[in-house]
Amino acid sequence: MSKAHDHKPLPDAEATRRYFAKFERIIAHLHDVTAAARERDGPLAVAQMEIVEAYLSALANTFTALSYKHLMAHTVSNAMTQRLEIDRRDSGFPVYRELLQMANDMVQADHHLDGMPSRETLKAEMVDHILTQRTAPRALQFAMSQRIYFEFLRDGAMFFAQNHPQIVLLESTGGGDRRRKHYLIHWAVYDSQESRPVIYFMVVEDSGKAALPRDERRWPAVQSHLLAQSILALKLVTIATGFDKDFEDLHPKLLRRIHVGPMYSHAFTEQTGPLREVLAEAAGEPGLDWALGWTTETLVSIRSERQASGLFGAVEREVYELDFYGRTDAETGTSRIDRSLILPYRPYQVLADRDLAGLRGVHKYVVGPDGALLTGV
């Protein structure tokens, strides 16, 4: 079955409203999770969580923009090409194509806004239409939604299909020829196969002479290399060892990949496995039929070794700690994998009562009846 069969257009404005309202609440809960992690973990984790929160805010902006774009799409004649499509099987998120189109729209936002009536004009025309024709001004409502969409693209920080690598200096050690800098590089992508946001971190030790962010030769090459390797099908150890070999004076000490999602919802997705029955049983209460996966893969270097290079040279190569027993796979390509699930109290109660073996090792964050994050278990 092709991936296209897993893509589902939302049928109308009500479904679109409910879908994005659900995502707005879930992303707010994600901010609570990252805040809890900041309090629990060390300085490096705090820096990473602050960056994660920035990506989540950009993701929220992207979903808000898409909600305006598609809210009144069912009212136009070519509605099937305008309606929001979601990946109902792998992620529950908007399909990858939506973000590509959004980036193209953003480049042309000013052009579109220059050719549109102002909000005030559209409001006046809607009032006149209601008073004179006594029908809903659907076309004008659609025009207003598109106006707000392009305004949001022009003014907001968005999560794109590719969010290019950025670099932060962590520390500088040694002196003279032995001087080394440690950088935190971060970037994010919207995976094209899984339709899912993925955030990457790499801690790099730099033994080169020029500071990496200002190195006109290495930094552009590093950015291009990392984006090209940001594919979920690649194991972290494959990405890290490839980087280690391609950049002799850059030594990846840690590589981390955070999967945001999938989002499971009895109303919108076709989940499989143990969560299917759990969410079906919880679906009787509005707004409580969802769960969001949050997975962190981490690869850590345990030491570096000198290896021969050419006839007389030698280079440093990293040796990584690998978890061969954490899963049924022969090799995970990681040092560890941490899985979390964020879900409302009702499905959590169902989950706890059933004590499903496949979810026992998953850390659960429970959202209470008042919307507050209760605990992680």
Residue 40 is predicted with a pLDDT of: 56
The three-point CA angle 119-55-212 to 5° equals 125
Least trusted range by pLDDT, from 1-10, 277-286, 318-327: 1-10
Beta strand 363-367 with 313-321: parallel, antiparallel or unpaired?
unpaired
H/E stretch holding 95: none
Give the start-end residues of each E strand in 102-142. Answer: none
Claim to verify: residue 119 and residue 192 sit in the same structural domain: no
Claim to verify: residue 263 and residue 330 sit in the same structural domain: yes
Which of 124, 155, 186 is the last residue in one of the domains? 155
Q: Which residues pair with 201 in a beta bridge?
A: 186, 256
- Burial class (CB within 10 angstroms; exposed 0-12, middle 13-18, buried 19+) of 294: buried
In order of 260, 264, 293, 299, 368, the CA distances from 375 in angstroms are 19, 20, 16, 27, 9
Q: Over 60: is that where the pLDDT of 204 sits?
A: yes
Average pLDDT, the chain: 86
Highest mean pLDDT among 13-27, 37-51, 81-95, 131-145: 131-145
Claim to verify: residue 253 and residue 203 sit in the same structural domain: yes
Residue 330 is predicted with a pLDDT of: 47
Claim to verify: residue 180 and residue 125 sit in the same structural domain: no
In order of 191, 277, 367, the CA distances from 265 in angstroms are 20, 11, 15
**Percent of the residues in the chain that have a pLDDT greater than 90, as a whole number:** 49
- Burial class (CB within 10 angstroms; exposed 0-12, middle 13-18, buried 19+) of 295: middle
Distance in angstroms (rounded) separating the CA atoms of residues 154 and 282: 40
Claim to verify: residue 291 and residue 323 sit in the same structural domain: yes
Claim to verify: residue 281 and residue 191 sit in the same structural domain: yes
Claim to verify: residue 222 and residue 341 sit in the same structural domain: yes
Residue span of the structural domain in which 18 resides: 3-155
Distance separating the N- and C-terminal Cα atoms of the chain: 37
Half-sphere exposure of 248 (CA within 13 A, CB side): 9
Q: Over 90: is that where the pLDDT of 77 sits?
A: no
Claim to verify: residue 178 and residue 239 sit in the same structural domain: yes
Residue 1 is predicted with a pLDDT of: 45
Beta strand 196-206 with 85-87: parallel, antiparallel or unpaired?
unpaired
In order of 148, 230, 237, 300, 319, the CA distances from 234 in angstroms are 39, 8, 8, 16, 18
Claim to verify: residue 26 and residue 175 sit in the same structural domain: no
H/E stretch holding 150: helix 138-155
Token pair recorded at residue 126? 């809607």
Claim to verify: residue 210 and residue 229 sit in the same structural domain: yes
Claim to verify: residue 136 and residue 172 sit in the same structural domain: no
Report DSSP letters for 230-255, one per residue.
--TTS-HHHHHHHHHHH-TTEEEEEE
Per the structure, the count of domains in the chain is: 2
Q: Over 80: is that where the pLDDT of 296 sits?
A: yes
Claim to verify: residue 123 and residue 170 sit in the same structural domain: no
* Global model pTM greater than 0.85: yes
Distance in angstroms (rounded) separating the CA atoms of residues 109 and 203: 36
Which of 93, 120, 155 is the last residue in one of the domains? 155
Distance in angstroms (rounded) separating the CA atoms of residues 170 and 46: 12
Distance in angstroms (rounded) separating the CA atoms of residues 357 and 29: 25
Better pLDDT: 88 or 311 = 88
Q: Over 50: is that where the pLDDT of 272 sits?
A: yes
- 2 sits in the region (left: phi over 0; alpha: psi -120 to 50; else beta) called beta
Highest mean pLDDT among 42-56, 105-119, 255-269: 105-119
Better pLDDT: 312 or 195 = 195
Which of 155, 181, 213 is the last residue in one of the domains? 155
Token pair recorded at residue 40? 């629990």
Residue 374 is predicted with a pLDDT of: 77
Residue 116 is predicted with a pLDDT of: 95
Residue 309 is predicted with a pLDDT of: 66
Q: Over 60: is that where the pLDDT of 84 sits?
A: yes
